[in-house]
Amino acid sequence: MLSESTRMSSAQEAAYRIQYPNSKKRAVKVIALDKMSARIVDEVSRMEWNGATFFTSLSFAAKSKPGDTSEGMQAWLEDLAGKTQDLVTEVENADFVVVITAAGEDARAVSVIADACALHNKTLVGLVVPQSQTSDEQVTHSLNHLRPFTRMLVVASGIDYVEAMLHALRA
């Protein structure tokens, strides 16, 4: 287009990119699904973050069964200070939610979080973190728990990957 005053990007042209913040701070909720992953979440939470919030345990009332996406579902998260927070409210205020499970641990609680995400149409990302003695079967077991509920499922290579992923997502 001869009328245009710029062409395809060269190194020189790249200098004219407009410099401004193109995104707002986002709310990322990181939730441990079991006791082993609570340690991981606790460790990761000590790093520097851009507003991410971390939760080390989940509890829910008997009536909050998997698949219950009514407004009345009752489930609570425990934050790092030991305070109880309402799951649905936390998810409602999130841009996306990350759940972490240690491979082989019981990750069935993910379904309750998935229900809350479904209620508010939020993306759920699942991380399976293998431990030093984790077997392949245990990883498979964890993947099967998380697969039906997550938009993205990753077998993380370790805590350093959890950190890298959260930084990459501007958590």
Q: Nearer to other proteins by C-beta: 42 or 160?
A: 160
Q: Which residue type is seen at 98?
A: V
Q: Nearer to other proteins by C-beta: 36 or 154?
A: 154
Closest approach of other proteins to the CB of residue 100, in Å: 13
What is the Cα–Cα distance from 47 to 118, expressed in whole angstroms? 29
Closest approach of other proteins to the CB of residue 59, in Å: 26
- Of the candidates 127, 131, 139, 138, which has an alpha carbon nearest to the alpha carbon of residue 101? 127
- Contact residues for other proteins, defined by CB under 8 A: 1, 7-11, 13-14, 17, 22-23, 96, 123, 125, 136, 139-140, 143-144, 147-148, 150-155, 157, 160-161, 164-165, 167-170
Token pair for 55: 């939760």
Q: How far is CA 134 from the centre of its chain?
A: 22
Q: Nearer to other proteins by C-beta: 25 or 35?
A: 25
Q: Which residue type is seen at 56?
A: T
Q: Nearer to other proteins by C-beta: 67 or 148?
A: 148
With vertex at residue 80, the alpha carbon angle to CA 142 and CA 108, rounded to the nearest 5 degrees, is 20
Closest approach of other proteins to the CB of residue 21, in Å: 8
- Contact partners, residue 90, CB within 8 Å, separation at least 6: 29, 53, 55, 77
Closest approach of other proteins to the CB of residue 53, in Å: 17
Residue 27 · residue 93 · CB < 8 Å: yes
Q: Nearer to other proteins by C-beta: 71 or 132?
A: 132
Closest approach of other proteins to the CB of residue 31, in Å: 15
